[in-house]
A and B are shown apart, each in its own frame.
Chain A
Amino acid sequence: MKARRRLDIEFLLGAVGLAALFLASFLVPLLSPFDPLRGESSALLAPSGEHPFGTDNLGRDIFVRSFAALQLDFVLAIIAVTASLVIGSTIGALMGMWRNSWISRILTLFVDSVNAFPFIVLALGIVAVVGPSAPGVVAAIVLTGWARYARIARARALVVAGSDFVSASRLLGFGRARIIRRHVFPNVYAESLAFALSELVVVIIMIASLSFLGAGVRPPTAELGAMISEGRLYLTTAWWMTVIPGAILAITALCIQFVAEGYERMRKDV
């Protein structure tokens, strides 16, 4: 009994925090008098009543900029995770179903290769091809991330494919496609979804990391990683440029992590 309640608190905390941040990321840019893209105040002002998070080196209000950046990160992360989930799981499920053919073996090898790549390395290369941009970042993340989902999906699909009711369905004469659609996919997606939730944190950090390296979204677009990078030049003079966007990123990731872990626990409990 006591254990159950403890879990709920963490999940609740995360969910509430996340909801608040999500809401803020849309409301703050809407309601703030300042423009996140253009500098209208003096540069490098310390946090104050007018500018709760201070201003950056171009005179932009960091408060509105941070939440505009958060909005972008949410949108990009959700798109990237969804795309990876769908593409990866589909390929993985198919691989699991046709496990004995040489296509599957080659695909497995390919999946292993993609997983072997350190993300940054591949992402830098991809961004070099398509240029630093929001779509580029999403493409880089999806292209490096789908393999992880494929692995999970394949493992699940293998189990399901060997299961009794699938064999029974085959015996009864149901077509392969129908079996896949009705039995394999739902099973596979459920487990992948849990993984996807925890991946959300990783993806948000990946987006920020790429932008930090200068390979993500382009200036003057507000992005938390890019803001941290811009702030590095002023580390000793204007610490708020670096510390605050990073804190927001960390808190957001923390909330997502709490939600993901709580969901995982609740799923297992049931």
Chain B
Amino acid sequence: MKRLVSRARSNYWVVLVVRSLAVAFIVATVAFSILRLAPGDPVATILGDQATPEAVARLRSQLGLDGNLLQQYLAFIGGLFQGDLGVSVTSRVPVVTIIVNSIGPTLALIAVSSVIGFLVSVPLGLFLALRPRSVLTKSVNFVSTLSLSTPGFYLGLLALMLFAVALGIAPVAGYDPSFPGMLRYLWLPALVVCGQLIPVLSRVFRTSVQRTLGEEFTEAAIVRGIPRWRYYVHYLVRPSLAPTIALLGYVAGQLLSSAVMIEMVFGFPGIGTQLVRAVSTRDYPTVQGIVLVFGVFVVLITALSEAVSTRIDHRIGRETP
């Protein structure tokens, strides 16, 4: 038994999974407690001036809000193991359904932004690393910094004013779940998210390439006269990708945050919109569920990107986390 445990302890994957679960659990607990501490009663908010003592009691038990905090917490944790996140207090729709329905647009936005961001950042970072003194580099740097300093929602508003209202080439709000219809609604918000993403990613990649440039094996490749493209891809890009991918975990968290703002500006029915609505109406189960999903998502992405980057870059050995 002890040997099993110690073997498990040293196995990278097991530790990763266990750690992720632990973090997810803490996230869930924090999510649960935060909103309960908030003053305000969802039952009173739903019933409004239709609140008779009987109606309140009935609704409270229907929503599982009677019983003390500990009972509710245990019910919540128990439900988690069954994949049940409870039912929305305002609409009676299961939280899982709400999340499943609303996460699609958000994921699509993040996916499209990530793809575009990545496709632009890699060549851009390469260029910045190889031509550090050109005028173009300086201007790109300036635009980069400007983009980072501009709050995402402001950039989104400007983009909206220009492309949607003035030029009319993008919709003002809404979403189409079908493909390729969704692209029509996605391209502008994705561009705005990229405005925050590309400056960060390209710089990290540039730094990484600069480091790789200084390594022995790249100098050796130049001396040996490796053809240009092979040089770029195999000797520069691949090894330098690792830190960039590892950064994805951190970036994923940022993306989710900015998703909330962007969704509001573009009237995008994603999970961020649901979250803001749920917080203001004290829809505890929905907030808990969404916060949990966010936390787990970020943890997973971090773990995944760590794993991928260790695979890609043979220079980085396996560490015990």
Contacts and interface: CB of A to CB of B under 8 A. Distances in A.
Asked whether the complex places CB atoms of A and B closer than 8 A, the reply is yes
A109 B145 contact: no
A230 interface: no
A246 B157 CA distance: 10
Nearest to A127: B279
Given A209-B261, A246-B158, A112 B290 contact: no
A168 to B, nearest CB: 29
Interface stretch (B88-96, B221-229, B292-300): B292-300
Contact of A249 (B154, B260, B279): B154
A115 to B, nearest CB: 8
B1 interface: no
B75 interface: no
A209 B151 contact: yes
Task: Say whether chain B's binding surface is mostly helix, strand, loop, or mixed.
Answer: helix
Contacts of B257: 118-121
Interface in B152-184: 152-154, 157-158, 160-161, 165
B294 A117 contact: yes
B275 interface: yes
| Chain B: number of interface residues, binned into ranges | 35 or more
A172 B150 CA distance: 53
A183 interface: no
Report which residue of A117, A212, A239 has the largest number of chain B beta carbons within 10 angstroms of its beta carbon: A117
A128 B279 contact: yes
A216 to B, nearest CB: 12
B34 interface: yes
A21 interface: no
A216 B26 CA distance: 26
Contacts of A232: 157
B37 interface: yes
B151 A126 contact: no
A113 interface: yes
A254 B146 contact: yes
Contacts of A110: 26
Contacts of B51: none
B148 A257 contact: yes
Interface string A101-128: 0000000011011011111111011101
Contacts of B39: 129, 131
Contact of B158 (A124, A243, A258): A243
B151 A124 contact: no
Contact of B149 (A116, A117, A254): A254
Nearest to B279: A124
Contacts of A228: 153-154, 157
Contacts of A112: 19, 23
A209 B27 CA distance: 23
A33 B155 CA distance: 32
B253 A116 contact: yes
B170 to A, nearest CB: 14
A208 interface: yes
A129 B37 contact: yes
Given A121-B256, A257-B148, 8 more contacts: A110-B26, A112-B23, A113-B30, A120-B261, A122-B30, A212-B264, A213-B264, A249-B150
- By Cβ-Cβ distance, the 7 closest A-B pairs, closest first, are A253-B149, A246-B154, A125-B34, A254-B149, A118-B256, A113-B26, A118-B257
Interface of A: 6, 109-110, 112-113, 115-122, 124-126, 128-129, 131, 201, 205, 208-209, 212-215, 225, 228, 232, 235-236, 239, 242-243, 246, 249-251, 253-254, 256-258, 261
12 contacts: A109-B23, A112-B23, A116-B298, A118-B253, A120-B261, A124-B275, A129-B35, A129-B37, A201-B148, A228-B157, A253-B151, A257-B148
Interface of B: 19, 22-23, 26-27, 30-31, 34-35, 37-40, 138, 145-146, 148-154, 157-158, 160-161, 165, 253-254, 256-257, 260-261, 264, 272, 275-276, 279-280, 282, 287, 290-291, 294-295, 298-299, 302
